[in-house]
Structure 1
């Protein structure tokens, strides 16, 4: 069910900035990816490497880029059911797995070419492996598997390691009966964290560059995050209410699930009160499986028949239907102003001639404007970027290097496409003054087409006087 929900209209929404970064970096060679990680995005290096190999096998279509996240969410639904069965029984397991599949955020991030879906899968797998290790705390093989899972989780997303807060709770409760459990957990956790120290140091040195835009959360942020986390206010309310119903079970499993669901947001909120904020709801998607397990237990305890369970699931599906529909719109993944890369590419192709050049203005939220338009253009269409001194790949960065003296970079091209963010009647006015001055002196604006969030203009060389 999770696979079907996440795969439905997977190629409907246009790629967004983060997905374009994935495509851009993962398209580079292994050596170039490693060079880039020295400068930026070290914390996503493992994901880029995985996507590089994936793209070599399956290509870089929208479906291919997003499919690993889709499969990850489907795998997580299975793990939610397995965890629910161990903690609350078979009926609660089925309810939990189905509820997880119905959460709109599962579909939303099952359709995004970013590491979040895979991080949710590995975080849930880590919880499952912990439970297996606690069943046999004398088995060092199980603790080793758990430790390596933590390493993989940290390589995918360091903030996802906040699930360890819930794991500590579970282990302490278990240690009352079996002291070997606490020893095995501490060794496995410390062993995994030690291996991640180099990544933590690299990420720390780059964090101000990567997260400068994330605002420091206030107290309201602790309330406002839940509708965003579930991608639906109605669905969030329903699942949280069912999770509260599970409290009457009074099982030893409740503290584990409650800690996994609640503690990560609280700790990340506290950590975000300093100079750098980490409080993005995408980073906390790892809590959704715990909410689904608890909600499944609550639903199983509140109903006495499968008919009642089916009816409750149908109601929750209806509550989230509007949000599920919105998430599949063309610009559904755009958090800010939509940027119509497809429309911009279609305008260029409608009037394209061999030998055309291009200028992209990457200012503002659409700072991957060049990559967005380039992705949706046919691969055999090549446009020389006029003011480009060195590409982002050549810079081992996410940003290119532009000519300090624009006049020297012009080759008197007959036609130049100008692609700028926003809708404007003066495309040249959005460029840096030194670039705009050179272009105004030598080119006329033949015409412009405006699409959501982007304007495409054609500049033609002025005839000689």
Structure 2
């Protein structure tokens, strides 16, 4: 007979008790956090314009499967799983803002539910419910629950992998439970390699359990080796592309280990409040706190250390998967400190009020485009309003803010204009950025009207494009109208001599 380890309490031992409980009692730890997260993440879902990264998602997932795979050979291989999943989703439900962001909403709701279930196992039912509610109230949960990127799915998969490793330890003799854990952890790696640093926390739990059941060490080792075998090719391939994608991320200094947390929580006050509550946690078993503390802290330390090589990976969005761990500790701290329902409810309301300004900020029109706000929608509206058949367009492509994709997304889909200086589309070259005409003078075809869309609101709109393109346009066109919108300028060029 296998002696039960201190973490987690084997579910088989309490199964008969759970069976006797009403359904509402057993579903409580996950139901309310799920509904709350779903509501908060859905509120204002279309309020913010698509970000640059979301526009990359839109561009890639609208290519066919062969084109997506070819693109991944050149760039963004580490996000390939997400792109393929979203390609299937968009094929079924379209590419509206709601449709593209909805998978993240659902993933965050699922992560809240699983966070509560983990809290129920580690700290008790009340702490589990509180952990799920606290997770839902974190502003970053709503922010990245409204982002058409992989971050919410990563959080979901990390929480699921953590729950599954606990279930595997409930019954270490079950190969299916170890297989489920390994498969889910592989999914974490395929969605975001940095998130695999959660294995440090899992290793702490496995090591604690090994002292009670020696078979755990080789079973867990087999599971982790299988994961490593699956993700290593992707890691090596992604590493070969990392310089191109992450060249701009600075190496973190020693202060970055502390200053990054307000960014992870998307709230300085919320961050401080949750960490304070986490410090009050008094778990019934030390190994419960060990798991959550390791999950909350160790990945950031590992990523910080690795980021002092030739490539830095130290970005707050890459550490969002630690949020459930902080919520678990905060839920345990709140449950241990306040025993009155009224006092607990009052503190949760206070936390919601404390983070309300940050929740509002998460839904502002240009929040997803920070720190460079660009009003793609307003620019597209100006073009659509005064567009005439035969109009052409020139986009400012000197930066990497996907201005062309942003305008194209918000333009009516049946409004087509010739892109004057476009030589090859990103799809044609299996990349994320276009190739422009080498000799701009030869690319003009006598268009009577050209829309010039540039970043910035300077006095001379021609300053927004490269000098050769500007020279070719200046000699043939004049600005008939130039209108600034947030972060951009929309200029209508008409051929010289045309009234």
The interval holding the TM-score normalised by the smaller chain is: over 0.9
Partner residue in 1 for 2:45: 10
Partner residue in 1 for 2:24: none
Does residue 216 (structure 1) correspond to residue 216 (structure 2)? The answer is no
CA contact (8 A) 1:23 1:60 kept: yes
| Structure 1 residues 136 and 249, CA gap change in structure 2 (3 angstroms) | closer
Does residue 425 (structure 1) correspond to residue 455 (structure 2)? The answer is no
C-alpha displacement of 1:248: 6.4
CA contact (8 A) 1:12 1:329 kept: yes
Among 456, 464, 480, which residue is 1:446 paired with? 480
Q: Take 1:262 and 1:252, find their aligned partners in 2: how far apart are those partners?
A: 15
Does residue 374 (structure 1) correspond to residue 412 (structure 2)? The answer is no
Partner residue in 2 for 1:325: 360
Partner-residue secondary structure (3-state), 1:456: strand
| Structure 1 residues 209 and 3, CA gap change in structure 2 (3 angstroms) | same
Alignment of 1:33-432 (within 5 A): 33-247=68-282, 249=284, 251-366=286-401, 368-432=402-466
Bigger mean CA offset, 430-439 vs 413-422: 430-439
Partner-residue secondary structure (3-state), 1:168: helix
Partner residue in 1 for 2:62: 27
Partner-residue secondary structure (3-state), 1:436: helix
1:260-285 deviation digits (Å, cap 9, x = unpaired) = 00001111011111111000000000
Q: Take 2:444 and 2:270, find their aligned partners in 1: how far apart are those partners?
A: 55
List runs of 5+ in structure 1 lacking aligned partners: none
Q: Take 1:217 and 1:113, find their aligned partners in 2: how far apart are those partners?
A: 27
Q: Take 1:290 and 1:459, find their aligned partners in 2: how far apart are those partners?
A: 55
CA contact (8 A) 2:57 2:83 kept: yes
Q: Take 2:372 and 2:230, find their aligned partners in 1: how far apart are those partners?
A: 40
Partner-residue secondary structure (3-state), 1:246: coil
C-alpha displacement of 1:247: 4.4
Q: Take 1:261 and 1:168, find their aligned partners in 2: how far apart are those partners?
A: 14
C-alpha displacement of 1:250: 5.2
Q: Take 1:463 and 1:451, find their aligned partners in 2: how far apart are those partners?
A: 28
CA contact (8 A) 2:282 2:336 kept: no
CA contact (8 A) 1:208 1:276 kept: yes
CA contact (8 A) 2:391 2:449 kept: yes
1:57-93 deviation digits (Å, cap 9, x = unpaired) = 1111111010000000000000000000010110101
Q: Take 2:365 and 2:409, find their aligned partners in 1: how far apart are those partners?
A: 16
Q: Take 1:315 and 1:182, find their aligned partners in 2: how far apart are those partners?
A: 44
CA contact (8 A) 1:363 1:421 kept: no
Partner residue in 1 for 2:15: none
C-alpha displacement of 1:364: 2.7
Q: Take 1:206 and 1:397, find their aligned partners in 2: how far apart are those partners?
A: 12
Q: Take 1:129 and 1:379, find their aligned partners in 2: how far apart are those partners?
A: 44
Partner-residue secondary structure (3-state), 2:480: strand
C-alpha displacement of 1:228: 0.5
Partner-residue secondary structure (3-state), 1:101: helix
Q: Take 1:429 and 1:323, find their aligned partners in 2: how far apart are those partners?
A: 36
List runs of 5+ in structure 2 lacking aligned partners: 1-35
C-alpha displacement of 1:311: 1.1
Taking only aligned residues, the RMSD between alpha carbons, in angstroms, comes to: 1.0
Partner-residue secondary structure (3-state), 1:394: coil
Q: Take 2:493 and 2:426, find their aligned partners in 1: how far apart are those partners?
A: 25
Q: Give the TM-score of the pair, scaled to structure 1.
A: 0.98
Q: Take 2:464 and 2:355, find their aligned partners in 1: how far apart are those partners?
A: 41
- Equivalent residues, number: 463
Q: Which runs of 4+ in 1 moved over 4 A?
A: 247-250
C-alpha displacement of 1:463: 2.8
Q: Take 1:5 and 1:103, find their aligned partners in 2: how far apart are those partners?
A: 10
CA contact (8 A) 2:265 2:271 kept: yes
CA contact (8 A) 1:155 1:199 kept: yes
